[in-house]
């Protein structure tokens, strides 16, 4: 059978300036191209102001095309008006990329148009699909629904796109419920859980692991003291301040904070005010090969987010044999289905502290924790996605 061709519109995708941005999108589409009978083209629109200043200058330089891990990636620039342009971004993106899409489609027709994030990608992809007369899929991942769905102008465009789409994807049952509450048609929604690089994310358990990690990071890490990690963008809703508060109540424990974000200055000041700055280590963005070492060396991964879809960091921690302490957000209950996976706690300082202390006192074996993530792999993610896409094409 001839290969199927999918055009994926995704603002959420790695580039040379932000190589860790949306890596889970790239891994999913790369797995589809590698393991299934699909040819994948990604249009990754790069928003740049009329004058590229500050962070936008290196971003503009990263707007180049390439063939990356089996996927053709095209990065046209579109005019972005920071802070106030969000309302018009879907239309700007759609009009900007349409000539390129039409040229590609004429050369070698696509079978389906896909969006990997609901806003601004979804409305743009739905309009493009309509222009080409093709079926359309739109995927929801979490903040696109919880954040953009709370803004009337975005919610209106998202609901309209959902009505026009042939099918919708959600990363968890809980998020699918939020989509329905927002006004999206429930009958169109399918669940598509995240994947996992099982060769990379697995328990790494040997006596010198923490010593090796400490040397890599330039941080002394004791082998017999509690070690916590928290992996996520440093923003208020992720709850790193609660993790730091719990740390203050656990003598001699250390915390590895992985991620960057606008809350970093506040969190550094908080660590100083709480007099735990010598036990909180801000690691920023780390190499993907180092992350499994950090997770495997940790006694618990603590991320009490106020909102999530189904966080990749949750799955990666479990696969490394590290139990979770998380809040009841998004797909938490779909992942923490037994005590071996960790604890779901209230999003309060006392509850997070108690949860961490309970895990430290009764830590399940790494093998039992890792077993709770056995169903996740990029190959299974690709297989499920291919079956879903085929169904949309057949129904169109």
Look up the domain containing 144 and give its range: 4-195+377-395
Tell me which residue has tokens 């924790």. Answer: 369
The answer, yes or no, to whether residue 2 has pLDDT greater than 80, is no
Are residues 168 and 213 both part of a single domain?
no
Residue 204 covered by a domain: no
CA distance 275 to 69: 46
pLDDT band of residue 46 (cuts 50, 70, 90) is very high
Can you tell me the mean pLDDT for 193-211?
89
CA distance 100 to 102: 5
End-to-end CA distance of the chain: 19
Q: What is the structure's pLDDT at 280?
A: 96
Residue 203 covered by a domain: no
Q: What is the structure's pLDDT at 350?
A: 97
Q: Please state, as a whole number, how many other Cβ atoms lie within 10 Å of the Cβ of residue 271.
A: 22
The answer, yes or no, to whether residue 344 has pLDDT greater than 90, is yes
Q: What is the structure's pLDDT at 63?
A: 87
Q: Are strands 71-74 and 66-68 parallel, antiparallel or unpaired?
A: antiparallel
- Residues of the chain with pLDDT > 70, as a percent, come to 100
Q: What is the structure's pLDDT at 1?
A: 64
CA distance 92 to 129: 15
Can you tell me the mean pLDDT for 372-387?
95
Residue 245 covered by a domain: yes
Q: What is the tally of structural domains in the chain?
A: 2
pLDDT band of residue 49 (cuts 50, 70, 90) is confident
The string of pLDDT tens digits covering residues 240-275 is: 999 999 999 999 999 999 999 999 999 999 999 999
pLDDT band of residue 81 (cuts 50, 70, 90) is confident
Please compute, for residue 1, the number of CA atoms within 13 A of its CA located in the half-sphere on the CB side. Answer: 8
Are residues 321 and 389 both part of a single domain?
no
Q: What is the structure's pLDDT at 376?
A: 94
pLDDT band of residue 287 (cuts 50, 70, 90) is confident
Q: Domain of 300: which CATH number? A: 3.40.50.2000
The string of pLDDT tens digits covering residues 154-187 is: 999 999 999 999 999 999 999 999 999 999 999 9
The string of pLDDT tens digits covering residues 93-139 is: 999 999 999 999 999 999 999 999 999 999 999 999 999 999 999 99
Are residues 78 and 50 both part of a single domain?
yes
Are residues 253 and 361 both part of a single domain?
yes
* Helices 240-248/349-361 angle, 10° precision: 60
Residue 150 covered by a domain: yes
Residue 213 covered by a domain: yes
Smallest CA-to-CA distance from 41 within 140, 114, 102, 118 is with: 114
Are residues 154 and 236 both part of a single domain?
no
Query: Are the CB atoms for 154 and 123 separated by under 8 Å?
Result: no
Q: Which residue has the higher pLDDT, 376 or 35?
A: 376
Q: What is the structure's pLDDT at 390?
A: 96
Are residues 150 and 272 both part of a single domain?
no
Q: Which residue has the higher pLDDT, 37 or 171?
A: 171
Tokens of 218: 């330039």
Smallest CA-to-CA distance from 156 within 190, 132, 122 is with: 122
Residue 38 covered by a domain: yes
SS3 of the chain: the string is CCCEEEEEECCCCCCCCCCCCCHHHHHHHHHHHHHCCEEEEEECCEEECCCCCCCHHHHHHCCCCEEECCEEEECCEEECCCCCCCCCHHHHHHHHHHHHHHHHHHHCCCCEEEECCCCCHHHHHHHHHHHHCCCEEEEECCHHHHCHHHCHHHHHHHHHHHHHCCEEEECCHHHHHHHHHHCCCHHHEEECCCCCCCCCCCCCCCCCHHHHHHHHHCCCCCCCCCEEEEECCCCHHHCHHHHHHHHHCCCCCEEEEEECCCCHHHHHHHHHHCCCCCCEEEEECCCCCCHHHHHHHCCEEEECCCCCCCCHHHHHHHHCCCCEEEECCCCHHHHCCCHHHEEEECCCHHHHHHHHHHHHHCCCCHHHHHHCCCCCCHHHHHHHHHHHHHHHHHHC
Query: Are the CB atoms for 255 and 244 separated by under 8 Å?
Result: yes
Are residues 170 and 248 both part of a single domain?
no
The answer, yes or no, to whether residue 289 has pLDDT greater than 80, is yes
Q: What is the structure's pLDDT at 109?
A: 97
DSSP lists the bridge partners of residue 344 as 326
Q: What is the structure's pLDDT at 210?
A: 92
Are residues 43 and 188 both part of a single domain?
yes
Are residues 223 and 178 both part of a single domain?
no
As a whole number, the mean pLDDT across the chain is 94
Are residues 20 and 141 both part of a single domain?
yes
The answer, yes or no, to whether residue 54 has pLDDT greater than 80, is no
The answer, yes or no, to whether residue 383 has pLDDT greater than 80, is yes
Residue 354, burial from CB neighbour count under 10 angstroms (0-12, 13-18, 19+) = middle
- Residues of the chain with pLDDT > 90, as a percent, come to 84
Q: Please state, as a whole number, how many other Cβ atoms lie within 10 Å of the Cβ of residue 132.
A: 18
DSSP lists the bridge partners of residue 188 as none
Are residues 245 and 127 both part of a single domain?
no
Residue 140 covered by a domain: yes
Are residues 297 and 168 both part of a single domain?
no
Tell me which residue has tokens 């938490």. Answer: 332
pTM to 2 decimals? 0.89
């Amino acid at each position: 059978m001839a290969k199927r061709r999918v055009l994926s519109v995704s603002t959420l995708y790695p580039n040379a300036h932000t190589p860790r941005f949306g890596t889970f999108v790239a891994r999913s589409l790369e797995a589809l191209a590698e393991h299934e009978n699909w040819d994948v083209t990604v249009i990754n629109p790069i928003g740049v102001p009329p004058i590229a200043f500050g962070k936008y200058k290196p971003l503009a330089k990263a707007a180049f095309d390439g063939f990356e891990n089996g996927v053709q990636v095209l990065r046209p620039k579109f005019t972005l008006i920071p802070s106030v342009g969000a309302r018009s971004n879907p239309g700007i993106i759609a009009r900007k990329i349409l000539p390129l899409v039409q040229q590609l489609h004429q050369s070698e027709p696509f079978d389906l148009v896909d969006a990997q994030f609901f806003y601004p990608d979804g409305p743009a992809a739905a309009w493009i699909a309509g222009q080409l007369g093709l079926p359309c899929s739109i995927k929801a991942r979490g903040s696109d629904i919880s954040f953009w769905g709370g803004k009337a102008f975005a919610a209106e465009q998202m609901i309209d796109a959902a009505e026009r789409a042939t099918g919708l994807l959600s990363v968890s049952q809980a998020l699918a419920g939020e989509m329905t509450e927002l006004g999206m048609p429930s009958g169109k929604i399918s669940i598509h859980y995240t994947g996992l690089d099982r060769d990379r994310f697995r328990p790494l358990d040997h006596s010198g692991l923490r010593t090796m990690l400490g040397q890599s990071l330039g941080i002394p890490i004791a082998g017999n003291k509690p070690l916590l990690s928290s992996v996520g963008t440093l923003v208020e809703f992720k709850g790193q301040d609660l993790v730091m508060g719990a740390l203050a109540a656990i003598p001699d424990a250390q915390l590895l904070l992985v991620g960057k974000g606008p809350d970093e200055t506040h969190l550094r000041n908080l660590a100083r005010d709480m007099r735990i700055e010598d036990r909180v280590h801000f690691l920023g963005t780390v190499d993907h090969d180092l992350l499994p070492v950090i997770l495997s060396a940790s006694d618990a991964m603590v991320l009490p987010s106020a909102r999530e879809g189904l966080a990749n960091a949750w799955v990666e921690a479990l696969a490394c044999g590290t139990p979770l302490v998380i809040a009841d957000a998004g797909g938490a209950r779909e992942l923490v289905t037994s005590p071996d996976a960790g604890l779901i706690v209230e999003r309060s300082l006392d509850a997070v502290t108690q949860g961490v202390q309970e895990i430290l006192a009764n830590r399940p074996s790494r093998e039992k924790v890792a077993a709770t993530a056995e169903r996740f792999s990029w190959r299974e993610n690709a297989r499920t996605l291919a079956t879903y896409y085929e169904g949309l094409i057949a129904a169109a």
